[in-house]
């Protein structure tokens, strides 16, 4: 993987690119993560496909631009990345918040979208309750209590029975939160609050779609996941039986195998 900084439109981005492969996969990380979260997952992919990861603006060491990073802005920034790298089409894989960006990308740039993968993510807009929870997180950050997020969010992403086994990964995610700019966290929370539902767009997209879901996901609980699957017969579905919200870590080999199989047919 070649690490570099590029200008994507008017946004300075930190990216990694394996640079080799007939097909290209872009991995978009989730909220309170950065591209290092893919560090152990990428080697399972890059012998078969070109892999690109990036610090989404607001996280990692990419730029923070204003108080709201809308999903549309982030999608357009990704389009500029592909243009900069000379990539005509890619399979866009979005983990959690990354999935919201992937959906906006598919809507705004279908010509660049070879296929779409929602990895522990949904096409639904935030419920009123979820919006209130995000606003509470904004208030926590503004009041200097980011450590409360660091103590709770990373562990909650893993299935209960996996937390001891992945203690190192949880601690790494906690450290990531401490190092993330407050302004970047707030900008992305605001962007998620205002995002729209994308189910109708998915129905009409006409591209290969894959949902990868965890049976023990505490964020996308089974009832919501089953509802999403039922409402989207156009999507292929892979269930990770022993994963929470972090299946690319909790069941990395099964997740990678499912992704590569899908990409090979897309």
- Quick one: pLDDT at residue 171? 98
Residue 137 contacts by C-beta under 8 Å, 6 or more apart in sequence?
149, 185, 189
Contact 113, 101 (CB under 8 A): no
Q: What is the pLDDT along the chain (266 residues), one digit of tens a residue?
A: 899 999 998 899 999 999 999 999 999 999 999 999 999 999 999 999 999 999 999 999 998 999 999 999 999 999 999 999 999 999 999 999 999 999 999 999 999 999 999 999 999 999 999 999 999 999 999 999 999 999 999 999 999 999 999 999 999 999 999 999 999 999 999 999 999 999 999 999 999 999 999 999 999 999 999 999 999 999 999 999 999 999 999 999 999 999 999 999 99
List strand residue ranges (DSSP E) for the chain, in order. 2-8, 11-17, 24-28, 50-54, 90-95, 113-119, 209-214, 236-240
CA distance 113 to 81: 13
Tell me the two tokens of residue 146.
């980011």
CA distance 260 to 25: 10
Superfamily of domain 2-254: Alpha/Beta hydrolase fold, catalytic domain (3.40.50.1820)
- Quick one: pLDDT at residue 220? 96
- Quick one: pLDDT at residue 266? 92
- Quick one: pLDDT at residue 236? 98
- Quick one: pLDDT at residue 197? 98
- Quick one: pLDDT at residue 76? 98
Tell me the two tokens of residue 206.
């006409």
- Quick one: pLDDT at residue 104? 98
Tell me which residue has tokens 């690490």: 3
Length of the chain: 266
| pTM given for the model | 0.98
CA-nearest of 91, 97, 95 to 119 is 95
- Quick one: pLDDT at residue 160? 98
- Quick one: pLDDT at residue 108? 98
Tell me the two tokens of residue 129.
């309750």
CA distance 219 to 207: 26
CA distance 155 to 215: 16
Alpha carbon of residue 221 to chain centroid: 17
Q: Where does 165-266 have alpha helices with state H? A: 167-179, 182-194, 199-205, 222-231, 247-250, 252-265
Residue 71 three-state SS: helix
């Amino acid at each position: 993987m070649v690490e570099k900084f590029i200008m994507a439109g008017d946004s300075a981005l930190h990216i990694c690119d394996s640079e080799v492969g007939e097909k290209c996969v872009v991995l978009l990380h989730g909220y309170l993560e950065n591209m290092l979260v893919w560090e152990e997952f990428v080697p399972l992919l890059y012998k078969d496909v070109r892999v690109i990861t990036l610090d989404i603006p607001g996280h990692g060491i990419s730029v923070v631009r204003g108080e709201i990073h809308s999903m549309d802005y982030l999608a357009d920034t990704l389009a500029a990345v592909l243009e900069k790298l000379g990539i005509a089409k890619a399979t866009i894989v979005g983990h959690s918040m990354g999935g919201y960006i992937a959906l906006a990308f598919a809507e705004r740039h279908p010509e660049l979208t070879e296929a779409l993968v929602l990895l522990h993510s949904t096409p639904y807009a935030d419920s009123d309750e979820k919006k209130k929870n995000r606003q509470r997180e904004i208030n926590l950050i503004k009041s200097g209590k980011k450590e409360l997020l660091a103590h709770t969010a990373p562990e909650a992403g893993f299935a209960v029975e996996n937390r001891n086994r992945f203690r190192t990964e949880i601690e790494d995610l906690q450290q990531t939160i401490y190092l993330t700019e407050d302004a970047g966290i707030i900008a992305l929370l605001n962007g998620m609050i205002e995002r729209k539902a994308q189910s109708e767009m998915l129905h009409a997209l006409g591209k290969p779609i894959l949902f990868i879901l965890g049976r023990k996901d505490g964020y996308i609980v089974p009832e919501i996941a089953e509802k999403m699957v039922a409402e989207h017969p156009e999507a292929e579905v892979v269930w990770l039986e022993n994963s929470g919200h972090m299946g690319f870590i909790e069941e990395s080999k099964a997740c990678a195998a499912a992704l590569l199989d899908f990409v090979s047919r897309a």
